[in-house]
Amino acid sequence: MRRSCSELKNARGHTLQCSHYLPSPFPEDTSLPCVIYCHGNSGCRADANEAAVILLPSNITVFTLDFSGSGLSDGNYVSLGWHEKDDLKMVVSYLRSNKQISRIGLWGRSMGAVTSLLYGAEDPSIAGMVLDSAFSNLYDLMMELVDVYKIRLPKFTVKMAVQYMRRVIEKKAKFDIMDLNCLLVARKTFIPVLFGHGSDDKFIQPHHSDLISESYAGDKNIIKFDGDHNSSRPQFFYDSVSIFFYNVLHPPQVSRADKLEKYYDLGDLKLGSGVNENLIYEILSSLRSATADAASSSSALPTISTTKSVTELLSEVAPSADLESVFTEEIAHDNNEPTNDVQNTLDVFATPLRSMKEKCSEAKEDEKKLKKNKSKIKKKKKKKGETADKKGKGDRFEKLEALSRRLRHCLLKGSIHRRHESS
């Protein structure tokens, strides 16, 4: 994973700090989908780390930003979604101009969820949205918080205070709190959506997501989980988010060959980068001789080059380890014809010409003795061969296992050394 940082200017002239999480290496010949993560009130773009961990393994990139008035971006006020939707619009336009980005999804939390919904109502090209802890109506939320925090004032006094705050906010932050009504926009939005809400959330209570879901016009699903407004989300919710975005964004699939290459790839591990060069070549040379004993005598042994990476050396040595021949030797012994020892035994029983009577009687006796001796010789050779094979195979396997342990230890030591250097 790698992160690229950039700066964008919104319509009000504020510079916004942005980050784009990308897989490493980025496939140059393939366009990948992108999810824009929208942080909550008092949050910042660092909150998108959890989204990057969840989505990058599925070949979905993650773009995030500090909204105006948050994090390191310019601005003095947040508007709980009203002006933030314009910041989001600018980001979407920026990503649309990038040919390496295909479909776009939105993932918002709290204020970011409201922002995503307000923008999604204006842009039906968004592929899908995840809305975590969105409020349905800002005015209703403010009235609820009075009860939650047990502010003992008459209702008419609270309403007068809210109206006063409305005028102040409109003058300073340039938006009307009465316009922040997600129920109105939900009725005309058809983007597939996944709602999430903590069942113990006291700040924005779960019924807000229920109300939005009931009014929502598009395909929808809602997940409730244990936790409050700011608690960590459970793994099953993240799994649901990953599956949801995979279905709506259709990221390119990684072929099985690419997965295996990535899994077995030792990266840029070269001789000399924390790995004992002499020890590596000693192990590979020993491994070469050990596998030569196990392989067929007709197989050509690979040559070891001193200018290649450890990965290439291993790929050269590994094919010579044809351990199948070890298991076929036993079968070959059972199928062998009588050897020279048997033939010598036959020569011993050969006799000169005698009378026909003696020759016939002796021939019968010789035939019986020959059969007995052949069976005895076969039994002895079989026992002798099995003992030698077992001993030889055991020695070879022990040797290969010891070399394998040494090789793993050497490579592991080198990779740990590289991590310490980079840190």
pLDDT digits (tens, 9 = 90+) for 315-341: 554 444 443 443 344 444 444 444 444
pLDDT at 28: 75
C-alpha–C-alpha distance, residues 299 and 227, integer Å: 64
C-alpha–C-alpha distance, residues 127 and 137, integer Å: 25
For residue 165, pLDDT beyond 80: yes
C-alpha–C-alpha distance, residues 239 and 244, integer Å: 9
pLDDT at 320: 42
C-alpha–C-alpha distance, residues 47 and 57, integer Å: 18
Residue 362: closest CA among 374, 347, 352: 352
What average pLDDT does range 127-147 have in this prediction? 92
DSSP 280: H
For residue 364, pLDDT beyond 50: yes
pLDDT at 240: 96
Model pLDDT for residues 172-226, shown as the tens digit of each residue: 888 899 999 999 999 999 999 999 999 999 999 999 999 999 999 999 999 999 9
Class of domain 2-135+181-249: alpha beta
pLDDT at 360: 52
pLDDT at 348: 37
Q: What is the percent of the chain with per-residue pLDDT over 90, rounded to a whole number?
A: 48
C-alpha–C-alpha distance, residues 260 and 351, integer Å: 69
65: region left, alpha or beta (phi > 0 left; psi from -120 to 50 alpha): beta
Q: What is the percent of the chain with per-residue pLDDT over 70, rounded to a whole number?
A: 59
Task: Pick from 9-23, 304-318, 360-374 the range whose average pLDDT is largest.
Answer: 9-23
For residue 105, pLDDT beyond 80: yes
Any idea which of 233-237, 343-347, 395-399 has the lowest mean pLDDT?
A: 343-347
Q: Which residue has the higher pLDDT, 397 or 5?
A: 5
DSSP 95-126: HHT-TTEEEEEEEEETHHHHHHHHHHTT-TT-
State pTM to two decimals.
0.61
pLDDT at 254: 61
C-alpha–C-alpha distance, residues 76 and 67, integer Å: 11
- Domain edges within the chain: 2-135+181-249, 138-179
